[in-house]
A and B are shown apart, each in its own frame.
Chain A
Amino acid sequence: GEDVEQSLFLSVREGDSSVINCTYTDSSSTYLYWYKQEPGAGLQLLTYIFSNMDMKQDQRLTVLLNKKDKHLSLRIADTQTGDSAIYFCAESIKGSYIPTFGRGTSLIVHP
């Protein structure tokens, strides 16, 4: 199986919260990242969390890490149409800092 897995699509109504989930397999992950890719653009780092943390909040973004289940989630509060993009989860493992990316989740925000 893949190292980092994400669901492919998520559709939400504007103003609702979005929760994008990710699972990873390597227990030696040191950093876990969330990137955003808008159409025609490269990836933008949204936030990252160290593997010894459980939660990180940054304005409308909340990252939750469950190390036991190797599960990472990104919650976007008050989702806006401008949040429509592909969101990538990535991990870097101990001894390597090259991130391994998931396939990405397409977030569609409709009015």
Chain B
Amino acid sequence: KAGVTQTPRYLIKTRGQQVTLSCSPISGHRSVSWYQQTPGQGLQFLFEYFSETQRNKGNFPGRFSGRQFSNSRSEMNVSTLELGDSALYLCASSPGVGANNEQFFGPGTRLTVL
């Protein structure tokens, strides 16, 4: 079974631009979560989607948004990019919701904002 895939793997943008990252979960998984990983802040939870609905949201500004499609694939969008948005963005999928559902992480998208 294929793992979680994220595209693109690397991305370079400039301040003020917007970016869309994509995540394809493991087949059969319906929950997708997004995290931002930076050296300064560590791993921060962005949001979680289940069955096309956002179930949880972390403490990030409205410039960060996401969505999930009927096939469980998810996208996250960051508008008006800032230098501080440079990070590794990780997507994780799980079969369902709840703490006993193991999250499987993708390799991440490395975003650099210049």
By a beta-carbon cutoff of 8 Å, the part of chain A in contact with chain B is: 30-31, 35, 40-45, 88, 92, 96-104
Let me know if A103 and B42 touch, CB within 8 A. Answer: yes
Most buried by A among B103, B106, B108: B103
* Chain B interface, >50% SS class: loop
Instruction: Specify which chain A residues have a CB less than 8 angstroms from the CB of B97 in the assembled complex.
Output: 97
Cβ of B34 to closest chain A Cβ, rounded Å: 11
By a beta-carbon cutoff of 8 Å, the part of chain B in contact with chain A is: 4, 33, 42-43, 45, 48, 56, 58, 90, 92, 97-108
Inter-chain CA distance A101–B102, complex, in Å, is 15
Cβ of A61 to closest chain B Cβ, rounded Å: 15
Let me know if A31 and B42 touch, CB within 8 A. Answer: no
Query: Can you list 15 A-B pairs with a CB-CB distance of less than 8 A?
Result: A31-B99, A31-B100, A35-B105, A42-B105, A42-B107, A42-B108, A43-B90, A44-B105, A88-B43, A97-B99, A98-B33, A98-B45, A99-B103, A101-B43, A103-B42
Let me know if B43 and A97 touch, CB within 8 A. Answer: no
